Structure 1
């Protein structure tokens, strides 16, 4: 049996085909009287250490931090960075970097590599994922290697954190894909967690073994089994990390919600975790929890960064909110002018700019429109063109709503119900009534609410039985015949499901599998042929792919690749002639890819790089066409500034990128849990 490499598990396999997985399962009830777990998130990440050397840009990947003799040390995979949007060759990861600092935030001082590859040591092929602990005056480094007889977990020891000696007897144990070890103490024994692939059904696993001496380990047990399998070509149980807090155990695993994301599962049993215990998200790759006295931090590193990042680890009593798919949000209003909505970087108040003249593309200054808000709002238009705004209250307490009047003015804000986990998805029924779909804070329920009359101010009560559980907020689109169709990601990303109206304005079908594992909520666009296209990002973010209706309002073609590495599902926006334009940033945000249909509903051009040199984006851009038919694209940069690029003419080429105002806005990751 050949070992499964990290590169093999993170390769782009978007065209590999769909998985025939069941639809959404019913929600699971909370367990009896057990006190609730805490919800975990993270504050803003700070870049604290760059392992690059003059003329050589380098990254850190899986890493470990520990404090020894009053000084912090980091050990991690190190390698040469690839071009923006491209992944390095993991087979070239053959050394562990070492640096130290007086504080987790630095300043960090680089040292000589701690360990380098030794092919003569039982066939080592790479050095991955070091984890270092101290026990009885000795430092123990557990790491992943490989060889012709299977993936291996190896051990080296040191007394000074500088000179390391491998265990003479060879690997501690081998497995099909044994990688990313993490060791901790539980109930008087040492426990090692690591990622693995099941030999019976190919499912991605987190396995565990126990030991009394850190050298001799028990047979493996399964701590977590994901619904995805090795047939997807990507692993979603990487970098397991377990910590205990107030009687609960928390398992960090990834990549989730794209390459730069880590989910957290909670359990009372450290040897059994399930998706029912979802307990939050940290927007970083290979995340570890770091304790410094009473302070807890999340550390992160990966292929698309420049070293080590650190953020305060947050413990919450309530679930995190999800961000809107569009940041900023943009739509035409009743006067045919584009409106752009974003959140202020300082206080998260809602901001708005209005296109004063589409012909000259002049804009108003930023104005305060409401807030603070829990997410960028969702926008919808009534049949008469009036804009309606749906906003998430801070902390997901409930939804708020504000509607444009026929004269262009606005109603007051009103309570719209909740609580909710995100700004809702909204679409217009065939008869003109808006329908709203919202995810509950714990992800257990997708609820639905509808206008009682087209453009009216009255709404039906919430229908809390529409769907759920879900792993991300729902997405909705209108078919060419007016029937609405809703798409939902299953918990953990194991499948996409959809449900549609059986007739315009009518009853709904049952939930049905839509056919593939995915890393995040999809996006939907309708082209000039009337056909819907659904775009989704692959698990771990290794690629994005799309599926198109065979005929307008009809069945669906097979999944096809769309882009390579992507942070989330690509933006789909139609040009004036009905051809879809697609945009997707790569992890790290240094590259933005662009493709377009050659004809409405037709094949796709190979595409082009569309971003600005030296500019890093934080999320997928948003876009819409103005009254002249020209598409406007808006993107938020790492420093919180909005950049815009506009078509020179309808369905034509593009003008250069320019600044869109001087206001700093919140740098939110689209379709991801809030930081």
Structure 2
């Protein structure tokens, strides 16, 4: 029997599953009575985090290394870190997890450091009951002894092992061998609940079954009960694992389960429950934009730590307990579109006060730009843009915390009307598109994604709007996307809660009634994207759960049926950005988790065949999120990307549909480096 590895468990193709709930069927409606009753007074808190600070790098002068699943414990006034450690792979690639055979050890006076590295805490012992790797340590203290639980597969299958120490430096395995074995048992996390020790861990419901979080109980940390299932993922058995690194904490009588990768490789969802042995999608309580997240408190402040294959070391952020759901970010950062005079206009958020910034292309031929100017704000997310039937640009913005939506419309002379209230509260800046009848239509999720609302212009180019339709759909697991078919009918795509599937809904005639929601297929790890090419056909792109690949699906005929899902990229942080070149061929840009590699592919012909692609990023310059792309008045594409320090970089086509100039700085103003698709805090 071959040992189970993390690589094997992340491998798989996305499959069709799930259903988008109809209006009136909210998250709580699917809950059992016991859970519904437990959600009485007081309500759970909403959870967020950020920004993450890089606090510890295990690399040496000539050796780039990563940390992955880890644990933090405070003893004798000092924090200790124990973690999977390994050699980093080339940018954009994942390492071989079967080579993870040691646990790194470091200590610090504070979670933010400075961290002092120590000798490795434990190394694999292949003579110890077939141990072949070391994964996901968890350390607790009891009776003057430190207990390290860890996952160690081998010829006997997945196993949870135990080593003990009296000083956190010297560790000895218990002579009796594995505590228990499972189908895919790994990532143990142990805490005390009432009069028992409780271990949460990643598991499968059956061979090739669903991904679950299991729990076992013990009174002595050595003998553990039979497993119980506390969380079952909504996706099918063919998807990559999305119940890894379970971490449970208690606050004010509520238990919070942190699991991932969800929302991409570098994402962790949070679920709340009064019952620590029962969690579900109905208890969704927020998101932390990090991988293998661990949550700790020093008795006063709460912290989230993160690591992962695509980062070098440990990151720490303040954990944020909120009364309201944190809003999602736009998948684009910054955003750009032509204004009424055809001038390309870029909008971003200031790194300091999160005011909205605007910059205008003054001369497309020489590619000269205005200085950055303040356009409004502060804002809670990057805005979304659309053009009216008369060419006037319209900007839609989310207030801080998702309190309200606002919009601002360009005048015919190129100036701007004042900002106006547009509705709210909302869970994200809205998706906007112009339909075949010339009217703009706006689609926005409620806070927490509990429902999806729609609003339409009263007439083409009008400054007045119809009332909101709050029962357009939902709940949703990410903000929707919308595009116009070749015949002008709008089509909306939305991710179901938990990422089990993408569903879509379309107009039956331009400006007319809407068909019912229908399954569009594929479990997905984050919000999809959609664009129309020069043939009039739509293409939808999405990432698989965990972000290990990006897929695309294209209409077989304009405004018609759809082809099959096909592979487009390997590891991707979010759905690739799509933009048509002047000749109508789509170009796609995909960022790897961690931002080290930016891939570029394009239609080699009008039939939708994708060219093999190329490395498009700037050597040695990581990016903080998937770039945005827009076309100027000459027909050349511009790509805008933000680095982790908040600097915008841009790359422009030499000529329409042609090659590309080198990367260049885009102004000196620092902007907020928001991670694509993540909630904003």
TM-score by length of 2: 0.97
Match of 2:558 among 552, 560, 566: 552
Looking at structure 1, the residues matched to 307 and 387 of structure 2 have their Cα atoms a distance apart, in angstroms, of: 42
2:349 corresponds to:
343
Confirm or deny: 8 A CA contact 2:333 2:628 kept in the other structure: yes
Confirm or deny: 8 A CA contact 1:383 1:455 kept in the other structure: yes
Match of 1:144 among 151, 157, 160: 151
Q: 1:325-384 deviations in whole A, cap 9, x for unaligned?
A: 211110001000000000000000000000001111110000000000011111000111
Looking at structure 2, the residues matched to 573 and 630 of structure 1 have their Cα atoms a distance apart, in angstroms, of: 11
Superposed, 1:652-667 pairs within 5 Å as 652-667=658-673
Confirm or deny: 8 A CA contact 2:458 2:465 kept in the other structure: yes
2:32 corresponds to:
none
1:5 corresponds to:
5
1:61 corresponds to:
68
Q: 1:190-246 deviations in whole A, cap 9, x for unaligned?
A: 0000000111771100000000000000000001000123312x1000000000000
2:196 corresponds to:
189
Looking at structure 1, the residues matched to 147 and 236 of structure 2 have their Cα atoms a distance apart, in angstroms, of: 32
Looking at structure 1, the residues matched to 527 and 172 of structure 2 have their Cα atoms a distance apart, in angstroms, of: 46
Looking at structure 1, the residues matched to 3 and 42 of structure 2 have their Cα atoms a distance apart, in angstroms, of: 42
Match of 1:408 among 394, 410, 414: 414
Looking at structure 2, the residues matched to 396 and 440 of structure 1 have their Cα atoms a distance apart, in angstroms, of: 9
Q: CA deviation at 1:20?
A: 4.4
Q: CA deviation at 1:57?
A: 0.9
Looking at structure 2, the residues matched to 47 and 400 of structure 1 have their Cα atoms a distance apart, in angstroms, of: 35
Confirm or deny: 8 A CA contact 1:528 1:601 kept in the other structure: no
Residue 388 of structure 1 aligns to a residue in which SS?
strand
Looking at structure 2, the residues matched to 313 and 490 of structure 1 have their Cα atoms a distance apart, in angstroms, of: 26
Is 25-34 or 238-247 further displaced after alignment? Answer: 25-34
1:471 corresponds to:
477
Looking at structure 2, the residues matched to 375 and 301 of structure 1 have their Cα atoms a distance apart, in angstroms, of: 25
Residue 117 of structure 2 aligns to a residue in which SS?
strand
Looking at structure 2, the residues matched to 515 and 367 of structure 1 have their Cα atoms a distance apart, in angstroms, of: 43
Q: CA deviation at 1:34?
A: 3.0
Confirm or deny: 8 A CA contact 1:399 1:420 kept in the other structure: yes
Q: Which runs of 5+ in 1 are unaligned?
A: none
Confirm or deny: 8 A CA contact 2:18 2:235 kept in the other structure: no
Looking at structure 2, the residues matched to 497 and 405 of structure 1 have their Cα atoms a distance apart, in angstroms, of: 37
Superposed, 1:61-140 pairs within 5 Å as 61-140=68-147
Looking at structure 1, the residues matched to 383 and 89 of structure 2 have their Cα atoms a distance apart, in angstroms, of: 36
CA separation of 1:201/1:94 partners in 2, compared to 1, >3 Å: closer, same or farther?
closer
Residue 321 of structure 2 aligns to a residue in which SS?
strand
Looking at structure 2, the residues matched to 2 and 249 of structure 1 have their Cα atoms a distance apart, in angstroms, of: 37
Q: CA deviation at 1:182?
A: 0.1
Match of 2:372 among 355, 366, 383: 366
Q: CA deviation at 1:161?
A: 0.8
Looking at structure 1, the residues matched to 251 and 607 of structure 2 have their Cα atoms a distance apart, in angstroms, of: 52
2:54 corresponds to:
47
Alignment coverage as a number of residue pairs: 671
Is 177-186 or 23-32 further displaced after alignment? Answer: 23-32
TM-score by length of 1: 0.98
Runs of 4+ in 1 over 6 A off after TM superposition: none
1:24 corresponds to:
21
Confirm or deny: 8 A CA contact 1:427 1:476 kept in the other structure: yes
Match of 1:303 among 291, 301, 309: 309
Superposed, 1:480-491 pairs within 5 Å as 480-491=486-497
Residue 447 of structure 2 aligns to a residue in which SS?
coil
2:577 corresponds to:
571
1:35 corresponds to:
42
Looking at structure 2, the residues matched to 376 and 103 of structure 1 have their Cα atoms a distance apart, in angstroms, of: 33
1:592 aligns with 2:604: no
Looking at structure 1, the residues matched to 467 and 335 of structure 2 have their Cα atoms a distance apart, in angstroms, of: 26
Residue 227 of structure 1 aligns to a residue in which SS?
coil
Looking at structure 2, the residues matched to 552 and 632 of structure 1 have their Cα atoms a distance apart, in angstroms, of: 26
Confirm or deny: 8 A CA contact 2:528 2:542 kept in the other structure: yes
Confirm or deny: 8 A CA contact 1:451 1:459 kept in the other structure: yes
Is 102-111 or 341-350 further displaced after alignment? Answer: 102-111
Match of 2:520 among 514, 519, 525: 514
Looking at structure 2, the residues matched to 442 and 586 of structure 1 have their Cα atoms a distance apart, in angstroms, of: 27
Give the alignment's Cα RMSD to 1 decimal: 1.1
Looking at structure 2, the residues matched to 530 and 106 of structure 1 have their Cα atoms a distance apart, in angstroms, of: 55
Q: Which runs of 5+ in 2 are unaligned?
A: 30-35
Superposed, 1:314-325 pairs within 5 Å as 314-325=320-331
1:523 corresponds to:
529
Q: CA deviation at 1:101?
A: 1.2
Looking at structure 1, the residues matched to 469 and 533 of structure 2 have their Cα atoms a distance apart, in angstroms, of: 31
Match of 2:266 among 252, 257, 260: 260
Q: 1:430-459 deviations in whole A, cap 9, x for unaligned?
A: 110000000000211100000010000111
Residue 656 of structure 2 aligns to a residue in which SS?
coil
Looking at structure 2, the residues matched to 63 and 29 of structure 1 have their Cα atoms a distance apart, in angstroms, of: 33
Looking at structure 2, the residues matched to 518 and 182 of structure 1 have their Cα atoms a distance apart, in angstroms, of: 27
Looking at structure 2, the residues matched to 471 and 601 of structure 1 have their Cα atoms a distance apart, in angstroms, of: 32
Residue 8 of structure 1 aligns to a residue in which SS?
helix
Residue 286 of structure 1 aligns to a residue in which SS?
strand
1:246 corresponds to:
252
1:164 aligns with 2:171: yes
Confirm or deny: 8 A CA contact 2:18 2:234 kept in the other structure: no
2:540 corresponds to:
534
Confirm or deny: 8 A CA contact 1:201 1:229 kept in the other structure: no
Looking at structure 2, the residues matched to 391 and 82 of structure 1 have their Cα atoms a distance apart, in angstroms, of: 39
1:273 aligns with 2:279: yes
2:617 corresponds to:
611
Looking at structure 2, the residues matched to 95 and 272 of structure 1 have their Cα atoms a distance apart, in angstroms, of: 33
CA separation of 1:20/1:601 partners in 2, compared to 1, >3 Å: closer, same or farther?
farther
Is 193-202 or 662-671 further displaced after alignment? Answer: 193-202
Residue 510 of structure 1 aligns to a residue in which SS?
coil
1:334 corresponds to:
340
Q: CA deviation at 1:28?
A: 3.2
Looking at structure 2, the residues matched to 47 and 243 of structure 1 have their Cα atoms a distance apart, in angstroms, of: 23
1:647 corresponds to:
653
1:461 corresponds to:
467
Q: CA deviation at 1:2?
A: 5.3
